[in-house]
Amino acid sequence: MSELLEVHDLTVHFATEDGLVEAVDNVSFSVRPGEILGVVGESGSGKSVTAHALLRLIRPPGRIVRGEIRFEGADLLALPEARMGAVRGARIALVFQSPRTALNPVLTVGRQIARLYELHQHVAPAEAWRRTIEMLTLVGIAEPERRARQYAHQLSGGMCQRVMIAMAIASSPRLLIADEPTTGLDVSIAAQILDLLRALGRRTGASIVLITHDLGVVAEACDRVAVMHAGQLVEIADVHTLFKRPLHPYTQALVRSIPRIDREVAMEPIPGAVPSLLAPAPGCRYADRCARVLEVCRRERPVLRAAGASHEVACHAVEVESGTAVR
């Protein structure tokens, strides 16, 4: 099966007054058609920057330094800006972290969806409005006719997120990037939003990249998981393998940090904080927090290697023999 999206060596830098922040460092991964790929990591690990970079939404002082983003046969980083506009929203859509601030406060929510139909599908305003109401119904908003005429501040957080999702899927994108779509929502509302995303993914066949810091969300919703730490992608595997046999010391620590009530295991927080991305040292950025650190870790950046069927890891301490991790 060919991949829908292939990212190679994506690197994003931000020029700040203190120096160059290397927010995303040589990240490579791919997204298969119809799957849900989770991207996990602590705050500041570069998840959101990666998501924005996929749509080329990085603005100065940020800059995509190098890399390749292959999507539907084209390298997005090489497209002229005008053609990129036809990808954004139409082929790849983004669901924002905080739905309330991601909706324009002076436009009705219906208008914000309807204008996308006018833009991407070139339909008349009346038809766009009809499709908007249909879409609001689809994402589970009661009284869509009335809600469409309201403003973001008149809707609940959960409803705003449903509107955001309606906006994102209005043009039937092939890839939906959801950046922490459940942050700030009640647990029950969050579960509903996740269910909605999954159902929409199944229904339309679109792939979803689900960015989150919540491993519970990953376990519940994703097919595969990519783990990011300090701007580097350290491990990628199918969800079952990742929880059962994590290889990277950071992933192992993440999994151990999940509170459990079914076993008498003490919850272990990960020592240290995400290291500064300001001119970081060469080598593995987890080295200072790692219990299995080797001398080579501080010298050389580990690259992703196959460590099993649909399992890749970037760690010097993991020994791999003919594509399978042995230790």
Partner 1 sequence: MGFGRYVLHRLLLVVPTLFGVTLISFTLVYVLPGNPALVKAGSLATPEHVAAIERQMGLDRPVHVQYWRYLTGLLRADLGESSSTGRPVLEDFRQRVPATLELTLASLLVAAAIGIPLGVLSAVHRDTALDHASRLVGVGGVAMPSFWTGLLLLYVFFYLLGVAPPPLGRIAADVVPPTRLTGLYVIDGALTGHGTALLSALHHLMLPALTLGFAVMAPLTRMVRATMLEILESDYVKAAWAAGLPRRRVIYGDALRNALIPVITLLGVIFGFLMAGNVVVEMVFAWPGLGHYAVTSLVTKDAGPIQSFVLFVAVMYVLVNLSVDLLYGLADPRIRLR
Q: Is 97 in the site for partner 1 (CB under 8 A)?
A: yes
Between residue 106 and residue 145, which ones bind partner 1 under the rule CB under 8 A?
106-107, 112, 115-116, 119-120
- Closer to partner 1 by CB, 82 or 142: give it: 82
Q: How far is the CB of 93 from partner 1 (least distance, A)?
A: 7
Q: Is 101 in the site for partner 1 (CB under 8 A)?
A: yes
Phi first, then psi, for residue 262 (nearest 5°) are -90, -10
Judged by CB under 8 A, the number of residues near partner 1 is 34
Contacts of 171 (CB under 8 A, 6+ apart): 89, 90, 91, 93, 116, 117, 120, 121
Between residue 70 and residue 89, which ones bind partner 1 under the rule CB under 8 A?
81, 85-89
**Secondary structure percentages of the chain, helix, strand, coil, to 5:** 35, 25, 40
Q: Is 90 in the site for partner 1 (CB under 8 A)?
A: yes
Q: How far is the CB of 153 from partner 1 (least distance, A)?
A: 5
Tokens of 311: 């399992």
Angle at 61 between CA 55 and CA 67, to 5 degrees: 45
Between residue 14 and residue 73, which ones bind partner 1 under the rule CB under 8 A?
52, 55, 57
Q: Is 205 in the site for partner 1 (CB under 8 A)?
A: no
- Of 103, 206, 107, which Cα lies nearest the Cα of 164? 103
Dump the DSSP string for 217-228.
HHHHH-SEEEEE
Tokens of 195: 């269910």
**One residue of 30, 121, 137, 171 binding partner 1 per CB under 8 A:** 171
Q: In what order do the strands lie in the sheet with 92-95?
A: 92-95, 175-179, 207-212, 36-40, 224-229, 232-238, 311-313, 305-306
Q: How far is the CB of 179 from partner 1 (least distance, A)?
A: 10
Binding track, positions 145-164, relative to partner 1; x by CB under 8 A: ------x-xx---------x
Q: How far is the CB of 282 from partner 1 (least distance, A)?
A: 31
Q: How far apart are CA 152 and CA 101, in angstroms?
A: 8
**Which positions touch partner 1 (CB under 8 A)?**
52, 55, 57, 81, 85-90, 93-94, 96-98, 101-107, 112, 115-116, 119-120, 151, 153-154, 164, 167-168, 171
